[in-house]
Structure 1
Amino acid sequence: MNVVLAVKLYISKMIEESGPGMKVLLMDKETTSIVSMVYAQSEILQKEVYLFERIDSGGRETMKHLKCICFLRPTIENVELLSQELKSPKYGLYYVYFSNVISKQDIKTLAEADDQETIREVQEFYGDYVAVSPHLFSLNLIGVCQGRSWNQVSFKRTVSGLTSVLLSLKKCPMVRYQNSSEMAKRLADHVRQVISREAALFDFRRTDSAPVLLILDRRDDPLTPLLNQWTYQAMVHELLGINNNRVHLGSIPGISKDLQEVVLSSEHDEFFANNMYLNFGEIGSNIKDLMEEFQKKSKNQSKVESISDMKVFLETYPAFKKMSGTVAKHVTLVGELSRLVGNHGLMNVSECEQELVCQSDHNASLQNIRGILSSEKTRQEDMLRLVMLYALRYEKHSNNDIAGLMQALERRGLPEKLRKMVPAILEYGGQKVRGSDLFEAETPIAMTKKFLKGLKGVENIYTQHKPLLYKLLDQLIKGKLAEASYPYLGTSQLRDRPQDIIVFVIGGATYEEALVVHNMNKTTPGIRIVLGGTHVHNMKSFLEEITSATQGLYGASQRFHSRPGRW
C-alpha cells in the first residue's frame, strides 16, 4: 500500500492515454496540489506536458495544436467550468479525468456542451487526496467540526476523499470506528453506504485477511499535536511549517532569493528521504557528511584541464548542481532550526513537556512550568502549549493551578485570544470528551516496567511520548483492540489478524503519528499500514482546529494562522 505510487500511476496513465504530441494539463486548485505532491514539474515536462493551467483562471490562450488532459474534482463548479470550456474549446482534443465518482447527469451535461466533439475520453481516476508520503495522506481540511458535529462541507469532502483512497489502493475494508465519537460513527456509516452503492467499483479480489479501515477522532488524543518535535520532518513542520511539501523561509534574515521557498519531498530529495525520521542530533552529523562529500566533488569539478575533463564535467554538472541545491537547502533549514532551538530554550521547554505528559509528579511539573513561563527566552506559543498540556494532564487534580498559570500568561503579555485556548482545549479534548485513558494510572506493574526500562539505559528524554495511535495499532495487530470501544460496522467481524490497515483521523493526523506508522511497517513483517487525516497538524493549525470546534465558547473564535512559520 503506497498512496504516492497510487496517485502517480493515475497521472502517468492519463498522460500516456492521450498518445504522443504536445499536451497541456488543465487542473483545479485541489488537483494542482494533488499532482504537485507526487510529480516534480521537470518529470512531467519529460512526458511532453509543456503547459500547466487552472480551469478557473481567465485569459487562457487558444492553442488548438495542444491536446488537453483535464484532471478535475467532480464538483458542480468544475462541471460548469468544463461545460463552458467545451462550448468554446481552447485546445484541439480533450481527455477528461475526474478524481472521484461523477454522476450520469454530469456526464450528460458535458456531452451536451461538447458541440464540437473535442472530448476523446472521460474516466474516473480516484486520486482525490493529497499523498504526503507513501504511508501518509491528507485532505488539507482545517476546521472540520462545529461543536461535536461535522461541518457539512467538510463531511462531504471527507467521505469522497476517504473512499477514493480505498479505491486507489483497491481495498474493500471492514470498517471499525471510535465508539465515543459521533463524528467517527457518522463517517463510518457513510463510507459503508458508498461501498454498498458502488459495489461494482469495490469488487476487488478477496485476500486471506480482510483489510481494516479504522476511523478515529483527534479529540481522543489532543496531546500529540501540542508537543515540540525532534525528528527532522516533524521539527521543520512544527517550527517553520510545511504546506504541500513546501517550506517558506522568506522571514529568515539575509536569505537568498533561491531559498525563500524550498521543497521537502522524499520522492525527489534523497537526503531528505534518508533523514526525515532521524532525530535532530543525527541530522547535524549527516549534514556535516553531506557538506564534506560536496566539497570533494567541488574540487573535482574545478580540475578541468583537458577536453576529456570538460566532457566529464558537462556529464556530471547536472548532478553536481542538484547536489549543490540540496546542500544549500538542508544547511539553511538545519541552521534555522538550530537558531530557534537555542534562542528560545526549546530543549528546556521540550523536557518539561515530556515529563508533564509521560510522568505524574504534579508539584515538580508545576514548578518547572512556572520557571519556563518566567524566562525571557520562552516564546508565547511555548508558554501556551505548556499550560494547555498541564490543563489536560491535571484537569481533575485536586490541587491543580490552572487559574494561576492563566494569570502568569496574562502577566507575560499573551493576548486574550490565546489565553482562551486553555479552556477551549478542555472543551475540545478534556476528560469528559475522550473515550480513551491518555494518562494511565501508575499501577504497580506499570511502575515496575518503567523501572526495568530505566535499567536498560535512559531513553531520549525529548522523545519519551508515544501517541495513543501506537497503542491502538499494537492492539489491532494483535487482535486485542476492544470491540466495545472500537466496534465493527455491521455484523461481520475479523477472524484473522489484519494485514492491510488504513487509519483515518478526523480532526487531523501528525508527523509524529506518521513516524509510528513508518516504524511499525518496518518492524512488523506482513503488516502494511497507511495513515490519513483531514489535515497534517502542527500546533498552529491544531489551534485553528480547536478554534473552529469551540467557536462561540470562551470567545475563542479568532483564527491563528498567518504566514507559515509565523505567529
Structure 2
Amino acid sequence: LQREVYLFERLDSAHREPMKHLKAICFLRPTKENVEFLIQELRRPKYSTYFIYFSNVISKSDVKALAEADEQEVVAEVQEFYGDYIAVNPHVFSLNLLGCCQGRHWDPAQLARTTQGLTALLLSLKKCPMIRYQLSSEPTRRLAECVKQVITKEYELFDFRRTEWTYQAMVHELLGINNNRIDLSRVPGISKDLREVVLSAENDEFYANNMYLNFAEIGSNIKNLMEDFQRRKPKEQQKLESIADMKAFVENYPQFRKMSGTVSKHVTVVGELSRLVAERNLLEVSEVEQELACQNDHSSALQNVRRLLQNPRVTELDAARLVMLYALHYERHSSNGLPGLLTELRNRGVADRYRKLVSAVVEYGGKRVRGSDLFSPKDAVAITKQFLKGLKGVENVYTQHQPLDAGPAHQGEAPGQPVPLPGAQHAPRQAPGHHCFHHRRSHVRGGADRVQPEPQHGGR
C-alpha cells in the first residue's frame, strides 16, 4: 500500500486465485446478492484477512449470516461507510438510476433504491432534516415518508427541455457524462489516448474553474490555457547541462505533463462541442427555446418553431423538444397551433417515440399538474436586472431562463404552492420565515440536468 500497488477483484469473479499473503478490503452495497457473494467468499477465503465496509445500513440478520459463514475467523472488521450515491460535484449527487417511474408512479424497486440512497446521503452528512415535499405530487409524499429530506420538483419539467450553454451541462447533454467519464471514441479523428477522458473538479483545476461558465467564456479561457502552456513549454525542453538543470527538470516535468494532458483534453472536448453546435444548428435552436421560455409573443414563437422544423440541420430530438416547449407554454392559448406542429413532425419523418413525448410532457407537466407559472413574462425590473447581469458577462440571450430552484425554494417554499411537512399535507400554510433553513438538500425524482445546480454553486 505504501508503494500504491493494489489488486482489484470482483467478489463474483469465478477465476480468482488464493493469495493468503494479502489482506482484502471489501467495499460493497448491502444488497442480498452482495451479501450472498460475501458469504460464499468467507466460506472459502482466498485472502488472509478481510476488512468489510458497506456503503449503507446492513440488517442484523445479514450480519448474523456473515458471522456464521466466517468459520475460519478471517474477518477483522465490519463497518458502515455511508457512500451509497455518486458525488458528481462537491455539491451535486446522483443515484445513477434510469427509469425510476412507471408513468406517474414509482417503480417499487427504484423507490426502495432511492430511499436507500437518500438515507445514505443524510447519514454521511450527519444531518437530521425537516422534510418538505411538493404538495401535488403523490410520489414525493411516498418518498418523504421513507427518508429524512426530500424536495422534488415535478413542476420543473420545463427545465429539462432546453439546450444548455454552460460547460459541464453542455458536455453532459451533447457528449454524456457517466461517473465523470466522457466517451469520445466517436469523435472524428480522435487519438487513441483521448477516446475516454475524465472530467473531475477534484483533480482538474481548469474544469473546476470553468464548469459553470458559458460556452463563449470557455473558448476564451481555453485560448489562455494554450498560451500559458506554450510559454512554459520551451523552458521544460531546454538543454540539461548541469545537475541543477536535471534536478529542476525532474521536479517540474510531472506538472508539465499534467498540464499537457489538461490542454489536450479540454481542447478536444471544446472542439467536439463546437462541431456539434454547428452541425445541429443549436445556436438558432436555443434562441427560439429562450424566446419560448421568457416571452409571450405567440405569433412569433409559432412562426419560429415552424421555420426550424423545416431546417434539415435540426435533429429529430431538437425538433420534438421545440414542439414540447411550445405545447407547455401555449397549452391553453386560443390560437394554439400544436396539431399543425405535430403534423409537421410526422411529415418530416420524426420517430413516433419522439412525437408521443409531446402529449406525455403535457400530461406530466402541464398547467393542470404543475400548479405554477413557468412562463411569466419579465417585467421592467427583471429586464433591468437582466441587463445589469449581462454587463458583467454573466448571461446572454441563450441563458435568460433560470431554473425554478434558484427562486423562493431557497427560503423553504416551492414557487407558487405549499411545500408541506410529512403527515401535515393539509395543514394551513405557515407564515414566511417560520422555519429558518441553514442547509438544504434537494432530491429531484427522475434526475436533474447539470445546469440546475448552478444557482446553488457557492451557496449552502
Counterpart among 79, 85, 100 of residue 123 in structure 1: 79
What amino acid maps onto 1:403 in structure 2?
Answer: P
Q: Trace 1:269-418 onto structure 2 (pairs within 5 A).
A: 269-307=204-242, 308-418=244-354
* Aligned residue in 1 for 2:453: 514
**Deviations 1:513-547 (Å, cap 9, x if unpaired)?**
1111105x1xxxxxx2xxxxxxxxxxxxxxxxxxx
* Aligned residue in 2 for 1:148: 104
Matched, 1:108 2:60: no
* Aligned residue in 1 for 2:181: 246
Assess if the C-alpha contact under 8 Å between 1:435 and 1:485 holds in 2.
Answer: no
Assess if the C-alpha contact under 8 Å between 2:408 and 2:415 holds in 1.
Answer: no
SS where residue 111 of structure 1 aligns? helix
What amino acid maps onto 2:52 in structure 1?
Answer: V
What amino acid maps onto 1:298 in structure 2?
Answer: K
- 1:338 Cα deviation from its structure 2 partner: 1.0
Assess if the C-alpha contact under 8 Å between 1:174 and 1:489 holds in 2.
Answer: no
- 1:447 Cα deviation from its structure 2 partner: 2.7
Closer, same or farther in 2 for the Cα pair 1:340/1:411, shift >3 Å? same
Assess if the C-alpha contact under 8 Å between 1:245 and 1:264 holds in 2.
Answer: yes
- 1:449 Cα deviation from its structure 2 partner: 2.4
Matched, 1:159 2:92: no
Closer, same or farther in 2 for the Cα pair 1:496/1:49, shift >3 Å? farther
Q: Structure 1 residues 390-399 or 109-118, which shifts more? A: 390-399
> What is the rounded CA distance, in whole Å, between the counterparts of 2:117 and 2:388 in structure 1?
44
- 1:214 Cα deviation from its structure 2 partner: 4.2
- State the TM-score, normalizing by the size of structure 2: 0.93
Q: Which protein, 1 or 2, shows the higher relative CO under an 8 Å CA cutoff with sep ≥ 6? A: 1
- State the TM-score, normalizing by the size of structure 1: 0.76
* Aligned residue in 2 for 1:132: 88
**Deviations 1:187-210 (Å, cap 9, x if unpaired)?**
111125xxxxxxxxxxxxxxxxxx
SS where residue 53 of structure 2 aligns? strand
What amino acid maps onto 2:163 in structure 1?
Answer: N
- Name the structure with the higher strand share: 1
What amino acid maps onto 2:381 in structure 1?
Answer: K
Q: How many residues align?
A: 449
* Aligned residue in 2 for 1:90: 46
> What is the rounded CA distance, in whole Å, between the counterparts of 1:457 and 1:59 in structure 2?
60
Counterpart among 412, 419, 422 of residue 489 in structure 1: 422
- 1:159 Cα deviation from its structure 2 partner: 0.7
- 1:154 Cα deviation from its structure 2 partner: 0.4
Assess if the C-alpha contact under 8 Å between 2:403 and 2:452 holds in 1.
Answer: yes
> What is the rounded CA distance, in whole Å, between the counterparts of 1:300 and 1:412 in structure 2?
57
* Aligned residue in 2 for 1:498: 437
- Aligned-residue RMSD, C-alpha: 2.0
> What is the rounded CA distance, in whole Å, between the counterparts of 1:119 and 1:332 in structure 2?
47
Matched, 1:75 2:75: no
What amino acid maps onto 1:71 in structure 2?
Answer: F
* Aligned residue in 1 for 2:8: 52
* Aligned residue in 2 for 1:17: none
* Aligned residue in 2 for 1:5: none
Matched, 1:469 2:405: yes
- 1:99 Cα deviation from its structure 2 partner: 0.9
SS where residue 8 of structure 2 aligns? strand
**Deviations 1:454-510 (Å, cap 9, x if unpaired)?**
66476510000111111243442xxx6689620122579884421111111111122
> What is the rounded CA distance, in whole Å, between the counterparts of 1:119 and 1:81 in structure 2?
15
Counterpart among 66, 81, 95 of residue 22 in structure 2: 66
- 1:56 Cα deviation from its structure 2 partner: 2.1
What amino acid maps onto 1:384 in structure 2?
Answer: A
Of all paired residues, the percent bearing the same amino acid is 56
Counterpart among 148, 160, 172 of residue 225 in structure 1: 160
**Deviations 1:49-106 (Å, cap 9, x if unpaired)?**
6112222222122111111111111111011000000001111100111111111110
* Aligned residue in 2 for 1:543: none
* Aligned residue in 1 for 2:170: 235
- 1:120 Cα deviation from its structure 2 partner: 0.4
> What is the rounded CA distance, in whole Å, between the counterparts of 1:154 and 1:324 in structure 2?
42
> What is the rounded CA distance, in whole Å, between the counterparts of 1:88 and 1:260 in structure 2?
40
SS where residue 64 of structure 2 aligns? helix
What amino acid maps onto 1:143 in structure 2?
Answer: G
What amino acid maps onto 1:65 in structure 2?
Answer: H
Closer, same or farther in 2 for the Cα pair 1:155/1:47, shift >3 Å? farther
What amino acid maps onto 1:278 in structure 2?
Answer: L
Closer, same or farther in 2 for the Cα pair 1:90/1:472, shift >3 Å? farther
What amino acid maps onto 1:352 in structure 2?
Answer: V
What amino acid maps onto 1:53 in structure 2?
Answer: E
Structure 1: 5+ residue runs without aligned partners? 1-21, 23-45, 193-212, 522-527, 529-567
Closer, same or farther in 2 for the Cα pair 1:229/1:152, shift >3 Å? same
Assess if the C-alpha contact under 8 Å between 2:407 and 2:415 holds in 1.
Answer: no
> What is the rounded CA distance, in whole Å, between the counterparts of 1:136 and 1:394 in structure 2?
33
